[in-house]
A and B are shown apart, each in its own frame.
Chain A
Amino acid sequence: MERIFRIISQSSATFLFFVLIATVSVLYLYAKPAIEQFGTYFIIDPRWGVEVTVKESPTKAIQTTPSSPQASSEPTTTPTEEENLEDEDTQASISDDENLDNLDAGLDDDLGGEDIDAQITSDDEDDFEANPTNAAGEKTEVVYGGAVPIVGTIFSTAIAMLFSIPIAMGIAVFLSEIAHEKLVAPVGIAIELLAAIPSIIYGMWALFYFGPFIASIFGGHSVSLLVAGLTLGVMIIPFMAALSRDAINTTPDVLKESAYAMGATKLEVTKDIIFPYAKAGIIGSIIISLGRALGETMAVAFVIGGVFEFAKSVTDPTNSIPVVLANNFAESSGLSMNALFYLALILFVVSFIIIFAAKHYFLRRNKL
């Protein structure tokens, strides 16, 4: 009995490991055709489901070459700086136009599935430009690229963080330092309960009320990158505030009291005593919230628009990885399905890294 119990419990712990490995390997397995087809170029390719003629004649090959350096110069501009948004978008639209040009006579009613099979079995590795081995003349292939949802995910998360960090910190400080004692318990519980509300509720609220509200202030559509980011922000506020408050509350009263005794104001105590002391915990809570915002589906699915275009301004609709997965999964097959698995794998790996970063911070706090 003793032994059996031990073995059972150990194997259930191992089961957890097994599930994680299975997740990664299954995602990889299903994403493999897409990975082989597109390689890492997938990450910077802004096209989704665009049919492209595979080039054979040299003149057309020249036509495509200018688009590739532009497209590949994108990753340098992709990171989150707002100023780069504009040029990046113009670049993207330029390469989009060129792709539209490429989309020519080759549409001779081939079924997509046949194409895909042909592509998977054909031995050219990834790029649609570099495959003169096929002497069969022109044929079309469908190109999938993940740049739009990836950029959309990054920007919506960035907007969410910019919006939610100040407010969550305000709530946390308010609850732990400023609020009257009678207020602390009810507000604290309210915040924690709000953190438990299903995210689909936030999505519905944003679709019917928040989106139009934001659109009436900033103009533009009621489904847009901005609305999606702000909705995400509102959603993670209670979560982040509750975690940060817990971190702030770990500051020993003695430290605060001695600072007050020196004549420090509340601002100085907060700035110089509490934040330095609880820094690791606060950063950890921010990173965990970031991980949550990154993988959030339902709050965003209603309001981001779900179109495969870069947002030219923040009030335009775009797309994000979880939303692509949610909207396009059911009706896709073959290569597009593989491309979706590729996106899922990217999302999984990114959130994996983020959580490890968070754990790193928490561990550092434990050592102190």
Chain B
Amino acid sequence: MRLFLNKAFLVLSTLTAILGLLFLGWIIVTLVSKGMESLTPYIFTHDLVDNGIRNLIWGQIVLAGLATVFGIPIGVLAGVYLQEYGNHTKYADFIRDLSDVMMSAPSIVIGTFIYAIMVIPMGHTNGWAGIAALFVMMLPIVVRTTDDMLSLVPTELREAGMAIGASKYHVIMHIVIRAAKVGIMTGLILAFARIMGETAPLLYTSGSTIYMETDLSQTYPAMTVSIYNLATMPDEKLVSLAWAAALVLTLMVLGLNLLGRYIIKEKR
């Protein structure tokens, strides 16, 4: 009986695993097969107004990229504070808790928040609001990664630096950060990949447009938002374009993820 139960358990567990992987495989197969249909060089050289996705790729990268540019210094500095200056103080623990909570805050709520403070005053959706929303999404992730990675740096390194008379600032900048550089880089890439695929915070902050746009104070093209809009269109061609865009987006996100993994592996 015991052995029978054991066998049943093994079979059941394997079956659920297969079932789960089957679903996930189904998604990938669908995505690739539908996405390939209209994935032509044409769509990379034309804007959405001409049934291409060039402006969308541009918009998504600019929004996520600028959010990262603003997010990195503040996030890394906050992480440095938590680990190097405020470690074990109540205040640092409090901030750490807050950043964990913010990390899993519903992304749509962040969208509403940014809408209230940036879109209502401007009167229309704009690129800066999209950047701000992604920035708020990204900040806690960067803080958390930096914090974790710095905590892996052995204390002896810091002590050695102090012992030769370096100031705390020098120790942090030239020893601790350098030692944790690879880990932090990986974290930043993963954070970038995460906000790259975000739709909800952009829905009514950056909006999306069918034209190429370089002025951030205007409604800015966002790939994820456009996918959402296109996929619900009745026109077959537009839906198929949405699939192609979805495939491109997934490839970008997964590519970034693999890059992050590769860097970590290289280090080890």
Contact = CB atoms under 8 A, between A and B. Distances in A.
B14 to A, nearest CB: 6
A9 B85 contact: yes
Nearest to B249: A198
Interface in A241-270: 241, 265-268, 270
B140 interface: yes
Contacts, number: 257
B117 A200 contact: no
Interface string A171-202: 10111001100000001011111101111111
Interface residues of A, number: 86
A209 B26 CA distance: 9
Interface stretch (B51-59, B180-188, B223-231): B223-231
B13 interface: yes
A128 interface: no
B126 interface: no
A329 B198 CA distance: 18
A27 B101 contact: no
Contact of B109 (A27, A179, A191, A234): A27
A243 B153 CA distance: 24
A5 to B, nearest CB: 5
A109 B198 CA distance: 41
A15 interface: yes
A355 B101 contact: yes
Contact of B78 (A16, A192, A207, A237): A16
A237 B228 contact: no
A194 B24 contact: yes
Contacts of B261: 189
Given A207-B231, A265-B6, A352-B101, A295 B106 contact: yes
A9 B78 contact: yes
Interface of A: 1-2, 5-6, 8-10, 12-17, 19-20, 22-23, 26-27, 29-30, 166-171, 173-175, 178-179, 187, 189-194, 196-205, 207-209, 234, 237-238, 241, 265-268, 270, 288, 291-292, 294-298, 301-302, 322, 325-326, 329-330, 340-341, 344, 347-348, 351-352, 355-356, 359
